[in-house]
Structure 1
Amino acid sequence: MNSGKLLIAFFGSILLVGCKEKPNVKSEMPSTQPNIVLFFVDDMGWQDTSVPFWTERTHYNDLYQTPNMERLAEGGMKFTQAYATAVCTPTRVSLMTGMNAARHRVTNWTLHKDQLQPMETNHKTLSFPEWNVNGLSPVDGIDKAVYATPMPQLLRDAGYFTIHAGKAHLGAIGTPGEDPLNLGFDVNIAGHAAGAPESYLGTENFGNGKKGKEVWAVPGLEKYHGKDIFLTEAITVEAMEAMDAALEKNQPFFLNMSHYAVHIPIMADDRFVQKYYDKGLDTIEAKYASLVEGMDKSLGDIMDFLEDKGQTDNTIILFMSDNGGLSVHARGGERNTHNKPLNSGKGSAYEGGIREPMLVKWPGRTVPNSVTDNQVIIEDFYPTILEMAGLKNYKTVQAVDGVSFVPTLENKNNNFEDRPLFWHYPNEWGPSGPGIGASSTTRIGDYKLIYYYLDSRMELFNLKDDIGETKNLVEEEPEKAKELAKILSDYLREVEAQIPAKKESGEQIPYPDEVLNLNNK
């Protein structure tokens, strides 16, 4: 299929899925709506699990102990090529809106209202665009925010009891989007503007009371202050109480189980850490492994709760991470190696920064212990979850880029093979490492092109042959590079994606196809 036909098919799918009209949900609903649990982990890498997502089992799969992920995989479908963005807030906004980051423009992590990140304003070479630093807004008119119809609002309007538990990180301090209750959730457990906890320990009040650290203190869990309980456990207990409340009301529920784990600070979960010390891991990595296992226990507790309540067969569970595993700093051992065979980690355009562990169990619909290589991306969750809930003909104020992967779950043909995937990060994250920096990326089939704005450099990889992205094929396969550069550039123009400029001259950095055209003259 040529690039023109690809783009026509791609943009046509956007028009079919999303439309800019007033939000409205008067849908044909099934007689029994399923409960939906989205188990969403922070910073969990593709290899941070005993479930292998590659064709081979690695030593990481033997190091980490995630028996409940294994249990979920045995009951559902494993996605080996699932993608998020390289950092957290862009992924979370794409999840809640169905929009690609290039369109919603919340392209970096958010916190303070109206403020660019210091590493962007202080960059020596690039001038970064005024991205949507205020995040997601459910109301129009908020400056530097994307106005969109949030997924939980549509679910609540359709009769769901909607629960947010854990990290939110969807809107800046002082904006409507900082509070999940403004985004369609009936219950908010511990979610606010910040994207990390000051402390995981109840004995430290989860960071509350620390002078100068107020912005990072986890809110709303005062009844656990001073108690010997880990944050992951406290949030899980609260989530189960909220699910129980929904069942008492005889309402289907949507639980956004969005853990702070396994984000820094890397702190020991004393329930699990000793076994990793005994294995000889260094202190940091032993603590990290305990965070992973504590997260997995939460998954098991929720699955046990559903079984005890007789809800297993009527509950869909989706498991996903918000970006690749942290590797460039704060970890033990050698940097940029924690996601191998994938290259690099969080913040990177390489696979280590964007490829995620993903599992879906839909009783009666997914084949147990099944595997798919279909490529999916985070914005696909929006139309998928709404379809799972039985919503039809829903209206959104935003154009929806995501495509439902329900046909994949039902072992039908999604026609995803030729669909281009896009990542847009016209920002500066901070740390230096492989693939980290302002960039735009596309993947089509087995090929992936990365364009770096700092020096207009391009890298082309065949992921089927080179999952570690070790061999740049731009010189060897120039026509393929041109094809992907044109598709990427046309998409960026179509959605009016923001592009960095040269700081000295103010001139916008050229699109990738312009660079190749100049080089060929």
Structure 2
Amino acid sequence: MKKTKNILFCAFAAGMPILNVSVSTAEAFQKPNVIYIMADDLGIGDLGCYGQRIIKTPAIDRLAINGIRFAQHYAGCTVSAPSRCSLMTGKHTGHSFIRGNKGVINKEGNKFDYPLADAEVTVGEIMKRHGYATACIGKWGMGGPNTEGHPNNQGFDYFFGYLGQGNAHRYYPRFLYENNTRIDLNEKVYSHDLIMEKALGFIEENAGNPFFLYLTPTIPHADLILPEGQLGDYEGVLCEKPFLGGNYTAQLKPRATFAAMVSRLNRGVQQVVDLLRKKGLLKNTIVIFTSDNGTHKEGGHDPDTFDSNGPFRGYKRDMYEGGIRTPFIVSWPGVIPAGTVSYHVSAFWDFLPTMCDLIGEPIPVSSDGISYLPTLRGKGEQKKHDYLYWEFHEQGGKQAILKDNWKLIKLKVDTPLKSKFELYNLNADPGERMNVASQYPEKVEEMCHLLELAHTPNSLYPFAFEE
């Protein structure tokens, strides 16, 4: 059972009440449902509404047509676990508890992820405290069975799916978990379809109550695999380069398979929207769609074929825009004007403050985020970040900071004498092709100072020079 936490809260900016002034008593009482759908390794360029021309994603595109599409939204990190921690706790990776993909072996000999600490405050806990039924269905990645990081101990009434990331590489897994119970599947069930079945069941069961569904399918993370004969419209259309295997399953048609997997993800989104409409919940449900980081290059996926990173440089594990800039779409019929595009710069750690703003909860003082609810509603003053910060503890250590659309990337952080800096002006150079660090040394110095301020040492994820 989750321990009672001593939490310090701060009020909103001086003069602002806890509830957004534009939210009426009736609207606050209705408590809109929230469905946060987060794909795994989906690139910003993989969706039609962000420029994709090969893969068909009509249901996801329709969310954007009927709602708001953000042009500059960022993941919590460039890999999974720290990105998810940032989303759930409202902290960037300079302050968050989990800052990397770190495995631990349990007493049964199975590998799971390092558990999120009991003391951390999650979105699930906040929503549950306000009467929401809560569920995480899909991939968790922040603690195995019977640990303090398990979703049931982090504010979620119900969990189904992959607790550990390693197991989530397989779409025909040996097992999944329902809460703390292991469900043996013996590599005979396509996990995505079962995950969607459980998600739709949760919506059905809670249609009469406010609910928060954190839906985290693993598509299109590698493996690249589908049930036999289900490549659909992509069968025989794309020139293929077979993937011979290795860490992932061999795939003769990786390009068609990737495209069909993204379309299968799109089908799941359509199923969610159809069920909401059937239950009369569509107008009182906020549906959010995003991805946990940039596109991958694993399991035979060729991101260049699909322009998966759009106009940006880099992929998963990079601090370039292609590794951290994600699609971000929000639909809220009757509240968000259809077809809106927002240039507000936002990030995963803003989700927790936004939910606090929505339901009238003071924002935890530990949060690095700001609410983007004024942008969603088109009312009230939208605060802006002074800067955004990321750190990554693989490939020699990396840091990045974004301020006023100037972006500084520090590479080889683990070996300070060999560290190098890259500086980009995203207004003029969104593709990060022109490193101007030597031309603007004063800007590099200014942003290096911010890098130091943003990073708090973490004994679980130290840079090498901190050990």
Question: So what's the TM-score if we normalise by structure 2?
Answer: 0.82
AA matched with 1:107: R
Aligned-pair CA distance for 1:340: 4.0
Unaligned runs of 5+ in 1: 1-13, 19-27, 115-132, 139-146, 201-205, 209-216, 430-436, 503-507, 510-521
Q: Distance in 2 between matches of 1:181 and 1:364?
A: 33
For residue 117 of structure 2, the aligned residue among 125, 133, 137 is 137
Question: Who is 1:320 aligned against?
Answer: 290
Q: Distance in 1 between matches of 2:229 and 2:130?
A: 40
Question: Who is 1:199 aligned against?
Answer: 170
Q: Does 1:242 align with 2:234?
A: no
Identity score, percent: 26
Aligned-pair CA distance for 1:92: 0.7
Q: Is residue 160–residue 176 contact of structure 2 (8 Å, CA) maintained in 1?
A: no
Q: Does 1:421 align with 2:382?
A: no
AA matched with 1:193: G
Question: Who is 1:440 aligned against?
Answer: 399
Q: Is residue 45–residue 323 contact of structure 1 (8 Å, CA) maintained in 2?
A: yes
For residue 110 of structure 1, the aligned residue among 102, 112, 130 is 102
Summarize the Cα distance change of 1:497–1:373 in structure 2 as closer, same or farther, 3 Å threshold. Answer: farther
Summarize the Cα distance change of 1:338–1:482 in structure 2 as closer, same or farther, 3 Å threshold. Answer: same
**SS of equivalent to 2:53:** helix
Aligned-pair CA distance for 1:219: 3.1
Q: Is residue 366–residue 409 contact of structure 1 (8 Å, CA) maintained in 2?
A: yes
Aligned-pair CA distance for 1:268: 2.5
Question: Who is 1:257 aligned against?
Answer: 215
**SS of equivalent to 2:290:** strand
For residue 92 of structure 1, the aligned residue among 84, 87, 95 is 84
Deviations 1:62-113 (A, max 9, x none): 1111001111001110001110110000011111111111112411113315
Aligned-pair CA distance for 1:274: 3.8
Q: Is residue 39–residue 219 contact of structure 2 (8 Å, CA) maintained in 1?
A: yes
Question: Who is 1:399 aligned against?
Answer: 366
Aligned-pair CA distance for 1:175: 2.6
Comparing 167-176 with 330-339, which one deviates more in the overlay?
330-339
Q: Is residue 103–residue 497 contact of structure 1 (8 Å, CA) maintained in 2?
A: no
Deviations 1:230-283 (A, max 9, x none): 322221111111111112xx3111111111111111113557514223322421
**SS of equivalent to 1:104:** coil
Comparing 180-189 with 312-321, which one deviates more in the overlay?
180-189
Aligned-pair CA distance for 1:414: 1.8
Question: Who is 1:500 aligned against?
Answer: 463
Summarize the Cα distance change of 1:400–1:48 in structure 2 as closer, same or farther, 3 Å threshold. Answer: same
Question: Who is 2:330 aligned against?
Answer: 360
For residue 351 of structure 2, the aligned residue among 363, 371, 381 is 381
Deviations 1:104-161 (A, max 9, x none): 24111133159xxxxxxxxxxxxxxxxxx724122xxxxxxxx312211121121111
Deviations 1:21-78 (A, max 9, x none): xxxxxxx9922111110011111111111112xxxx4xxx111110011110011100
Q: Is residue 327–residue 338 contact of structure 1 (8 Å, CA) maintained in 2?
A: no
Q: Distance in 2 between matches of 1:207 and 1:328?
A: 18
Q: Distance in 2 between matches of 1:15 and 1:451?
A: 32
Q: Distance in 2 between matches of 1:289 and 1:224?
A: 29
Aligned-pair CA distance for 1:17: 6.4
Question: Who is 1:49 aligned against?
Answer: 47
For residue 76 of structure 1, the aligned residue among 67, 83, 92 is 67
Question: Who is 2:341 aligned against?
Answer: 371
Q: Is residue 42–residue 294 contact of structure 2 (8 Å, CA) maintained in 1?
A: yes
Summarize the Cα distance change of 1:260–1:443 in structure 2 as closer, same or farther, 3 Å threshold. Answer: same
Question: So what's the TM-score if we normalise by structure 1?
Answer: 0.74
Question: Who is 2:132 aligned against?
Answer: 160
AA matched with 1:376: S
Question: Who is 1:120 aligned against?
Answer: none
Deviations 1:375-429 (A, max 9, x none): 11111011112322x13236x5x7111111111112344242x62000012x115
Comparing 263-272 with 460-469, which one deviates more in the overlay?
263-272
Length, aligned pairs only? 421
Q: Distance in 1 between matches of 2:213 and 2:440?
A: 46
Summarize the Cα distance change of 1:17–1:401 in structure 2 as closer, same or farther, 3 Å threshold. Answer: farther
The root-mean-square deviation of aligned C-alpha atoms, in Å, is 3.0
Q: Distance in 2 between matches of 1:450 and 1:15?
A: 32
Q: Distance in 1 between matches of 2:45 and 2:303?
A: 15
Q: Distance in 1 between matches of 2:183 and 2:463?
A: 46
